[in-house]
Structure 1
Amino acid sequence: MSVDDLAAVPRAVETTSRRLLVTEKDADGFYRPVGFLGATVDVTSVEYTFDYLRSAVERAGFRPFLGFVDTGRTYRSEGLFPLFAERIMDPRRPEHPVFLASLDLTDDATPLEVLARSGGQRAGDGIMLLPEPAVDASGRTHCHFLVHGIRYLADAEPLLTRLRVGDRLVLRSEPENNTNPRALVVVESSGQKLGYVPDALLDYAHSVRERALTVVRVNGPEVGVRLRLLVRLDGHLYGSEVPFSGPAWQTMTDDRS
């Protein structure tokens, strides 16, 4: 089950689990997968976990996060780990309702819902979180994400002011992109660029068939450029195209590794 589905799950039912992908910006400006932040929820409690990806630990120059120095264990906590809790806006702040609205969330949103929608980014440390896409038994899939790279596209700002909730957008391959030939650019109806799919979601987005990309929320400049455009990708996955699965996504504690 995806974080995106949490609001639809009755709180007093069976145990449910969900997780977020934790990424970190490298020296080249790419957000590389580092680990998974998970939560197991039952009627009375929540247990949070954090695991490193083997591919991250074995990457040249890898440095563990503060508070997670033992790369070979699963970290567990009844409360959200400080590294991630400090990325959630204090509900007592007067701008908190505006912040939640900018993410298309209500005041009963859980910490992982907020992190999944906002990315939990802070200036200086390069850490960003992304939701694990939802996939049902028939292969139908969806995922919310904030469009990246808007600040680097001079023509994007006036286009944003014309977008409305429910507008359909398109993903277009950009093989001529010198930074990342696998980049997927988000374009509006006239074909003009609005931004990009986050790096760590590219494998998933490329795999989605019968794609439908929809505007969920368009925010003004007062929320900051990172939160300007929230979209939802819908479609189908077939066969073994399971998001965040396979050897590259094994954790250090995965029994299959």
Structure 2
Amino acid sequence: MSVVVPRHELGSVERPLSRERAVDLVVSWQHPVTRATLPIGLLRQEVDGYSFRYLRRAREIQNFRGLLGFPDFKRLYRSTELFPLFAQRAMDEDRSDYPEYLLRLGLAEGATPWEQIVRSAGDSAADTVKVSPVPERIDGAWYCVSAVTGIKYLAAKPVAHQGGTFGPLGDDQLEVILGALKIGVRVRLAHEIGNTYSSAATLVTTDDGTPFGYLPDWLAHMVRDFISEDASAAIVDDIQCHDGKWVVRVLIRLDGRVGGSLETLLGPDWETYAE
């Protein structure tokens, strides 16, 4: 299990670390049958606009036919404006609840659509596309803000990690656990034992080891070799509940042993057609 440290020891990086500064966003697609969330491309904010490119492995994903507006897997897409597929995930400033929405995201008035989708992970009830910031290297360490996934899954079955077996957790128990979380509170990352779906399944737990969700599988594969080496740390970066839906994000720090380049960190599965 990883060593986790207080907020001020995470390299003096303050919330919202790199989310507005993110250069690349991982674009993921949720399979409609298996519900697995799979990385399929990278969205980038350029000096003069935006670009999107598919990962090579996207073509091998069963039932994935490409995103709307991006039919060619081998093409590098560029635009001076944020692509409509992603821009529609930002709220129109003319809406009456726009100020409340920005406040909820912790953004200032006049926040750009890019800042909104980076901050909100581009969540949309209309489809299965998600975005997440690519890890960023700062002062020799890697940092990443990630949503916690699979919260409701913990109500369906027990899960186990090195610290013991937990659950199934009832809805009331989950409400208590999540309601006790605060921004800046340390959390732990732990390999799940016996997960038949993913060899890298990583639970996010409270400081006493009680699980309340998972890291996205792509990120779990990225950090799995460093959790047991005490090379990672995590804190709650954001927590919200609206209409009974909990949204929790954690700030993860991986130390310099992970590697010096993004290519080393991501690995060969992240090669794109358009470099």
1:127-151 deviation line (CA, Å, top 9, x unaligned): 111110111362x111112211222
**Mapped partners of 2:81, 2:260: distance in 1:** 34
TM-score normalised according to structure 1 size = 0.81
How much does 1:99 deviate? 2.9
Instruction: Report whether the alignment pairs 1:33 with 2:39.
Output: yes
Instruction: Note closer, same or farther for the CA distance 1:240–1:201 as it changes in structure 2 (3 Å cut).
Output: same
**Mapped partners of 1:70, 1:51: distance in 2:** 9
Instruction: Note closer, same or farther for the CA distance 1:97–1:63 as it changes in structure 2 (3 Å cut).
Output: same
Of the structure 1 ranges 118-127 and 69-78, higher mean CA displacement relative to structure 2 is found in: 118-127
Q: Counterpart in 1 of 2:160?
A: none
Of the structure 1 ranges 170-179 and 117-126, higher mean CA displacement relative to structure 2 is found in: 117-126
Q: Counterpart in 2 of 1:217?
A: 238
3-state SS in 2 of match to 1:122: coil
Structural mapping, 1:68-217, within 5 Å: 68-136=70-138, 138=140, 140-153=141-154, 154=170, 155-208=173-226, 209-217=230-238
Instruction: Note closer, same or farther for the CA distance 1:109–1:176 as it changes in structure 2 (3 Å cut).
Output: farther
Aligned partner letter, 2:144: C
Aligned partner letter, 1:35: G
Greater relative contact order (Cα < 8 A, sep 6+): 2
How much does 1:214 deviate? 0.8
Structural mapping, 1:235-254, within 5 Å: 235-238=254-257, 239=259, 242=262, 245-254=266-275
TM-score normalised according to structure 2 size = 0.76
Q: Counterpart in 2 of 1:21?
A: 26
Instruction: Report whether the alignment pairs 1:5 with 2:18.
Output: yes
Unaligned runs of 5+ in 2: 1-15, 155-169
Structural mapping, 1:42-81, within 5 Å: 46-81=48-83
How much does 1:89 deviate? 1.7
**Mapped partners of 1:205, 1:61: distance in 2:** 28
Q: Which runs of 4+ in 1 moved over 6 A?
A: none
Unaligned runs of 5+ in 1: 9-16
**Mapped partners of 1:206, 1:83: distance in 2:** 32
How much does 1:4 deviate? 4.5
1:117-174 deviation line (CA, Å, top 9, x unaligned): 3221322421111110111362x11111221122233322111211222111101110
**Mapped partners of 1:109, 1:4: distance in 2:** 16
Instruction: Note closer, same or farther for the CA distance 1:97–1:145 as it changes in structure 2 (3 Å cut).
Output: farther
Aligned partner letter, 1:186: V
Q: Assess if the C-alpha contact under 8 Å between 2:27 and 2:130 holds in 1.
A: yes
Identity of aligned residues (%): 33
**Mapped partners of 1:4, 1:108: distance in 2:** 19
Instruction: Note closer, same or farther for the CA distance 1:61–1:52 as it changes in structure 2 (3 Å cut).
Output: same
How much does 1:219 deviate? 1.6
1:195-222 deviation line (CA, Å, top 9, x unaligned): 1111221123325553221112222334
How much does 1:90 deviate? 1.7
Alignment RMSD: 2.5
